[in-house]
């Protein structure tokens, strides 16, 4: 068929001439396992939690049989009237405002050092920075809890003078644990982004007389900004999901109560048991996480940039 005939051909004829996808079955075969697991272990629990949040327990009389009935927004009203829950959100918000910038600043610094041609032993330091992330969060919290405890710590000269488990410092003691664990993880993400930068850019900068500090400030950091933003969003989500550290630190410090963080408040509420209120808390917490993450993303990527 000539070019003129193709231009004048009917849409149906052109449609028939389009190459057919011969790999539809293969695509479905490979995507299906993920789709099934995503449905069973992500969408289904979220849907069930949302359903539970609209129920309430109705009991006829003091000793009447309890039954679940539709309660509308009753549980959500209770959530917004729950002072300790919102205090816990404010507490982790303060935690994130301080801990996340410190953690990402250290991760960026370590990534830049590993990418610098002046540093030797990069494989050793890359492994050393990443090793804490291989330690499970509960184990890390127990280890640091022993180090902070005045009676158990090998550094009694320090812990006898500074009570890291007091009401004023326990939050920042947890921040130290989280920072120690996740700096290496975030460092690898930023370092991987640094490795993707073409070396020709560095060579051109050196020809213009730029030193390593100028290259880092003017080239490397701007080019890895998307990776930094991504790690910041992950960190915001992780901050609002803080659970293992406060749960472990409750055994070391009386300053950590049952509603110290939002997730701990949800766990405590579900253990009463008050499943419906805990489900509503979970939904509100998920929406709060989404709003904060979306707001940060819009702030770092304003319209038109």
The full 3-state SS of 40-56, as one line of letters, equals: HHHHHHHHHHHHHCCEE
Long-range contacts of 65-74 (CB under 8 A, 24+ apart): 68/276, 71/276
Cα torsion at 298, 303, 304, 305 (round to 10°)? -10
Which pTM does this prediction carry?
0.82
Residues 217 and 280 in one domain: yes
Residues 43 and 175 in one domain: no
Residues 67 and 81 in one domain: no
Predicted local distance difference test score (pLDDT) of residue 8: 55
Predicted local distance difference test score (pLDDT) of residue 299: 86
Predicted local distance difference test score (pLDDT) of residue 120: 84
Predicted local distance difference test score (pLDDT) of residue 71: 85
Predicted local distance difference test score (pLDDT) of residue 239: 92
- Number of separate domains in the chain: 2
CA distances from 287 to 206, 243, 268, 282, 294 (A): 48, 18, 20, 9, 10
Last residue of a domain, one of 43, 71, 99: 71
Tokens of residue 114, six digits? 């590993």
Residues 164 and 60 in one domain: no
* Residue at 5 is within a domain: no
Last residue of a domain, one of 71, 101, 123: 71
Predicted local distance difference test score (pLDDT) of residue 28: 86
Residue span of the structural domain in which 58 resides: 29-71
Helix pair angle (275-300, 262-270), 10° resolution: 160
* Residue at 53 is within a domain: yes
Last residue of a domain, one of 51, 71, 91: 71
Which bin fits 286, alpha (ψ -120 to 50), beta or left (φ > 0)? alpha
**Closest C-alpha among 64, 86, 99, 268 to residue 183:** 99
Residues 275, 282: Cα–Cα separation, whole Å: 10
Q: Is 281 helix (H, G, I), strand (E, B) or coil?
A: helix
Residues 91 and 65 in one domain: no
Residues 217 and 286 in one domain: yes
111 Cβ contact list (under 8 Å, min separation 6): 187, 188, 190, 191, 194, 224
Residues 133 and 179 in one domain: yes
Residues 65 and 156 in one domain: no
Q: What is the pLDDT along the chain (305 residues), one digit of tens a residue?
A: 555 554 555 555 445 555 566 678 888 888 999 999 999 998 999 899 999 999 888 877 666 677 888 888 999 999 999 999 999 999 999 999 999 999 999 999 999 999 888 888 888 888 898 999 999 889 999 999 999 988 888 888 888 889 999 999 999 999 999 999 999 999 999 999 999 999 898 888 888 888 888 988 889 999 999 999 999 999 999 999 999 999 999 988 889 999 999 999 999 998 888 899 999 999 999 999 999 999 998 888 766 45
CA distances from 126 to 114, 130, 174, 182 (A): 7, 6, 24, 13
Kindly report the CATH number assigned to the domain that includes residue 168.
1.10.3720.10
């Amino acid at each position: 068929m000539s070019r003129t005939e193709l231009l004048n051909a009917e849409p149906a004829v052109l449609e028939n001439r389009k190459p057919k996808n011969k790999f539809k079955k293969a695509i479905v075969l490979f995507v299906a396992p993920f789709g099934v697991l995503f449905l069973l272990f992500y969408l289904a629990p979220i849907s069930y939690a949302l359903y539970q949040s609209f129920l309430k327990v109705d009991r006829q009389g003091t000793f009447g049989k309890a039954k679940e009935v539709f309660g509308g927004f009753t549980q959500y009203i209770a959530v917004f009237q729950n002072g300790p829950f919102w205090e816990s959100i404010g507490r982790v918000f303060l935690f994130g405002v301080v801990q996340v910038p410190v953690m990402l600043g250290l991760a960026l610094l370590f990534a830049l050092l590993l990418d610098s041609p002046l540093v030797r032993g990069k494989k050793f330091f890359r492994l050393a920075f990443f090793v804490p992330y291989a330690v499970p969060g509960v184990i890390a919290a127990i280890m640091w809890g022993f180090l902070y405890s005045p009676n158990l710590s090998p550094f009694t000269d320090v812990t006898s003078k500074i009570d890291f488990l007091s009401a004023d410092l326990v939050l920042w003691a947890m921040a130290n644990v989280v920072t120690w664990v996740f700096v290496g993880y975030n460092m690898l993400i930023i370092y991987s982004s640094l490795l993707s930068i073409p070396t020709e850019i560095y060579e051109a900068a050196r020809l213009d007389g730029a030193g390593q500090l100028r290259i880092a400030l003017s080239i490397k950091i701007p080019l890895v900004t998307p990776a930094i933003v991504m790690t910041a969003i992950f960190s915001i989500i992780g901050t609002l999901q803080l659970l293992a550290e406060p749960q472990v630190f409750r055994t070391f410090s009386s300053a950590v109560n049952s509603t110290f963080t939002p997730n701990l408040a949800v766990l405590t509420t579900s253990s009463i048991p008050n499943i419906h209120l805990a489900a509503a808390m979970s939904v509100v917490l998920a929406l709060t996480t989404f709003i904060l993450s979306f707001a940060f993303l819009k702030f770092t990527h304003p319209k038109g940039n």
